[in-house]
Chains A and B, each alone.
Chain A
Amino acid sequence: MVEIEIDENACVGCGSCVDDCPNDVYEMDEAKNKTKVVNADDCMACLSCHEICPAEAMEHKNIHVAKRLYIDRRVNDILNKII
């Protein structure tokens, strides 16, 4: 089962994930002005929310992580040395 964690310190409350999620996994917590997970069972781990979140405030655990063959390993190696 998918577990979703929202870093409340990082979340800026823009609501982009709420609008983008096709399965209504998120809702806005109006009191805190932060996103909250309300329907993790319906999360299909498309990770659109990760892509749209400006604060990189979420983490998905226990999901199928798709292959990323497009990543150039040589570029990655260079980046790893720099970062």
Chain B
Amino acid sequence: MAYEIKREGKEIFGDFKPELIPNECGGDIDDYEEALHVLMKFVGSMSSALEQVSGRGANAIVYQAGKRMGHEAGKMVEKTDNLEKAMQELSEILGAEFYFDMWKPAGQEGYTIEKGDETVVKLIFRDCVVRQTLRRTGLPQKGPLCYLLYGYTVGAVEEVMDIRGKLDIDHVGPNACLKTLTIKWSGK
């Protein structure tokens, strides 16, 4: 018999069959919010501990994890050579939680710059779960956790366009972050 710990909120009772997900398990919006905050704290804490233990190696570990995720996600969409279409697909892969656009200074003609066998495009990330997590846990931006999105984006672009990619963080802010995506066509 279980010892009942006293707590606020009521316990959910219902019938359960392995093949069915009972409605009672769904929870309401407050439960999801609480779960999100707990996850943010966990991930923030893990990132901070990883940095403490591995130093600068933490960035490489998280980057590799993100890149693997990106490659896996990139397999779900159609391959293309067209950068604009690739960005559209990347937006679908990253989802609404990583809302980004291509960006250029007002004086620049197009969004892309050709440099030999490289194409450079600036991406502005407006909504970002990583940023949310860092701010939730009071961690600075540009740390290991930012490398997760870095790896994820590069992995997905590499998979979709079948090229070698690189993403540099130009500037981070509380409302948006600017990154430069470099595509190496010779890496095909």
Which residue numbers of A lie inside 8 Å of B, CB to CB? 22-23, 39, 41-42, 44-48, 50-51, 63-70, 72-73
- A70–B178 contact, CB under 8 A? no
- B171–A22 contact, CB under 8 A? yes
Chain A residue contacts of B171, Cβ below 8 A: 22, 46, 48
Extra pairs beyond A50-B175, A66-B131 (6, CB < 8 Å): A39-B106, A46-B177, A48-B173, A50-B174, A51-B173, A66-B175
- A47–B33 contact, CB under 8 A? no
- B174–A48 contact, CB under 8 A? yes
Query: Interface 1/0s, chain B 78-103, versus A by CB < 8 A?
Result: 00000000000000000001010001
For window 90-139 of chain B, which residues contact chain A by CB distance below 8 Å?
97, 99, 103, 105-106, 124, 126-129, 131-133, 135-136
> B142 at interface (Cβ–Cβ under 8 A)?
no
Chain A residue contacts of B37, Cβ below 8 A: 70, 72
**Cα–Cα distance between A66 and B133 once the two chains are bound (Å):** 13
Tell me how far the C-beta of A67 lies from the nearest C-beta in chain B, rounded to whole angstroms: 5
> B172 at interface (Cβ–Cβ under 8 A)?
yes
Max count, chain B CB within 10 A of own CB: residue among A23, A46, A72, A73: A46
- A66–B33 contact, CB under 8 A? no
One of A41, A47, A69 near B176 (C-beta < 8 A): A47
Q: How large is the interface on B (under 10, 10 to 19, 20 to 34, 35 or more residues)?
A: 20 to 34
A44-B174 in contact given A66-B131, A70-B132, A70-B136 (Cβ < 8 Å): no
A44-B132 in contact given A22-B170, A66-B175, A73-B33 (Cβ < 8 Å): no
Chain A residue contacts of B36, Cβ below 8 A: 69
Query: Interface 1/0s, chain B 144-188, versus A by CB < 8 A?
Result: 000000000000000000000000001111111110000000000
Tell me how far the C-beta of A69 lies from the nearest C-beta in chain B, rounded to whole angstroms: 5
Tell me how far the C-beta of A81 lies from the nearest C-beta in chain B, rounded to whole angstroms: 18
Chain A residue contacts of B105, Cβ below 8 A: 23, 42
Tell me how far the C-beta of B95 lies from the nearest C-beta in chain A, rounded to whole angstroms: 12
Tell me how far the C-beta of A45 lies from the nearest C-beta in chain B, rounded to whole angstroms: 6
**Cα–Cα distance between A72 and B176 once the two chains are bound (Å):** 20
One of B126, B131, B174 near A51 (C-beta < 8 A): B174
**Cα–Cα distance between A5 and B174 once the two chains are bound (Å):** 18
- A66–B128 contact, CB under 8 A? yes
Chain B residue contacts of A46, Cβ below 8 A: 171-178
A66-B126 in contact given A46-B176, A46-B177, A47-B175 (Cβ < 8 Å): yes
